[in-house]
Chains A and B, each alone.
Chain A
Amino acid sequence: MVTDLATYALTGLGLVFFWAGTIGLIRFPDTFSRLHALTKADNLGLGFIALGLAFQADGWATLAMLALIWMLALLAAGTVAQLVARAALSPPEEDEE
């Protein structure tokens, strides 16, 4: 019962952050500011959703899986944000570094 409430509250909070990330993606004025919104808000949103789902886990294996998912998503977010920002920064002609 209490665990269900924790799941509702935390996943709900997670959804708020995903919503914020999307609002930022639409409202922010340029590519770089939009990347801020997507990476940071979605990272936190996924973190809260994973935490909320952890209250429904029936064993450590599920917890480990949730943690693994969050870590991989974090790794991807940080890396991809940097690459997209890099690509947006470079002049349009191909430049090999």
Chain B
Amino acid sequence: MRTDFTKAAIHRTILFGGGWLALTGADPAALAPGLLVSIAAVWLSLRLLPARHPLVLWQVVRHLPRFVAGSVSGGVDVARRAFSPSLPLNPGWVEVPIDLPEGARAALGGELSLMPGTLAAGSEGNRLVVHLLDIDAGPDDVILREEAAFAAIVGQTRTGGA
């Protein structure tokens, strides 16, 4: 548990410190206040959202190209449907059981809203409620693939299929 805490503290220091550097353009005069602000932000974030599932950073990096590709095809797909005179939509719902910690499920829901054809509307119990633009397009495997990616990111070892 101690290592989880340390890992999360390091990740969040990188996140907030990096954000400060980006905002200030790494102005040397802003470094000292940035240090204080980063420490305060990390402390506050660890209080508000205790470290439970530190991210596996290389899995985040590994997921990035697929996320960008999914964003592009999601945007192109929805633009094509919007511009098409016949408005090709066949909307419907699926509920997918998602075996992820609470926060990771919400993050997955947020990500799915940017992937082609899927839009999360929160969860019912452990099932993610997903709206599909085209129920015949079969994006179920997209959801399962993204779930597996998120499981790897939070360092969850999978038991059984999926």
Residue of B19, B22, B75, B82 near A44 (CB, 8 A) is B75
Q: Within the complex, what minimum Cβ distance (angstroms) separates B23 from chain A?
A: 7
Interface size of B by Cβ–Cβ distance < 8 Å?
36
- Interface range on chain A (Cβ under 8 Å from partner): 35 or more
Residue in B closest to A59 when the chains form the complex, CB atoms: B25
User: 8 Å CB contacts to A: which residues of B62-94?
Assistant: 71-72, 74-79, 81-83, 87, 89, 91
Q: Within the complex, what minimum Cβ distance (angstroms) separates B79 from chain A?
A: 3
Task: Identify which of B38-46, B47-55, B114-122, B150-158 touches chain A.
Answer: B114-122
Interface flag for A68 (CB, 8 Å): yes
Interface flag for B131 (CB, 8 Å): yes
Q: Within the complex, what minimum Cβ distance (angstroms) separates A88 from chain B?
A: 8
User: 8 Å CB contacts to A: which residues of B88-127?
Assistant: 89, 91, 106, 109-111, 113-117, 119-122
Residue-by-residue, is B1-21 near A (CB-CB < 8 Å gives 1, otherwise 0)?
000000000000000000101
Contacts of A59 in B (CB 8 A): 25
Residue of A28, A62, A74, A82 near B120 (CB, 8 A) is A82
User: 8 Å CB contacts to B: which residues of A7-26?
Assistant: 16-17, 20-21, 23-24
Interface flag for A61 (CB, 8 Å): yes
Looking at B75, B106, B116, the one whose CB has the most chain A CB atoms below 10 A away is B75
Contacts of B131 in A (CB 8 A): 32-33, 35-36, 85
Taking a contact as CB atoms under 8 Å apart, the answer to whether A30 and B22 are in contact is: no
Interface flag for B143 (CB, 8 Å): no
Q: A39-B119, A41-B82 are in contact. List 8 more A-B contacts (CB 8 A).
A: A16-B79, A28-B82, A33-B89, A33-B133, A35-B113, A40-B113, A44-B79, A45-B75
